[in-house]
Amino acid sequence: MLGYWELVASAVLYAGGIVAQSTAARRAEHRPGADLGLIARLATDRLYLAGFTAQVGGFVLAFLARGSLPLYLVQAGSASAIGLATLFGVLVLGWRVTSVEVGVLAVLAVGMVLLGGAATSSTARGLTPTMVASLVGVLVLTALLGIRSGRPNALVSAAVPAGIAFAVVAVAGRALAGGDLAALPWQPLAWILVLAAVLGQALLAGALQRGSATSAVATMDATSLVLASVVGVVAMGDRIAPGREWWVAAGMALVVIGVLALGKAPQRTAAAVKEAV
């Protein structure tokens, strides 16, 4: 039961972090290209740091929840933070969202509910040396993809690499959370997790500056959800409630549809965020 409470608290913290970080990133000085100095400039922004602190808190709680809950449930819970963030933005900052965006978020929500309903508690299997090496290779390719995405109007291509990086975080965290937490600093997989989190954070900052917070984070979360969930079920022993395998398939399909729909019109929603900051 504790794992479920950890997951709920994690989603709330993630939502607050999304709102704070998106506001700070949009008001930061924009430079063309990959703009590798963006994080350095944001490091002096108190609002961004507050959002980052909330994200760290959400990350820690999600990490702990992965010790007893399957990846597809934890990732769905984390991804639901985009809905809470949108609600916070509308109520507190006066964000305006289009009817299309609301509809797409509803599609994503249904997909996440199906994934959550298929969940059953399970303990993850450890990663083999080959799988650990594969995670390192994925991070290198993701970093290269992120650099290439630093062109104008590249919201989706900037957010997808962030989602891949956070999928690596989820997979590594699932393998580590059930073990001895005191021994984490001496485990190579823990350092891979840290590197993936830093890379994902940097890529997310660029995506937030280029367009709508809703579109960027939804794209990132959906990418992470799909990839991590597949790895969890196929390679890590995450279980699905008997007879509900089709819930997982349907949930994944709805998430992918939502991502594609959000990716088609990021510039229409970007103006709403810009007016609010």
Burial of 183 (0-12, 13-18, 19+ CB in 10 A): exposed
3-state SS, residue 150: coil
* Model-wide pTM > 0.85: no
pLDDT digit string, tens, across residues 38-55: 666 677 778 888 888 998
Ranges of beta strands (E only) in 21-102 are none
pLDDT digit string, tens, across residues 70-126: 888 888 888 777 777 777 777 777 777 778 777 877 887 888 788 778 878 777 777
pLDDT at 213: 62
Residues 6+ apart with CB under 8 A from 150: 33, 34, 35, 158, 206
Distance of alpha carbon 234 from alpha carbon 127, whole angstroms: 12
pLDDT digit string, tens, across residues 122-166: 777 778 889 899 999 999 988 887 776 555 444 456 688 889 999
Burial of 258 (0-12, 13-18, 19+ CB in 10 A): buried
Number of compact structural domains in the chain: 1
Mean pLDDT in residue range 250-255 = 83
Domain that holds residue 25: 2-276
pLDDT at 275 over 60: no
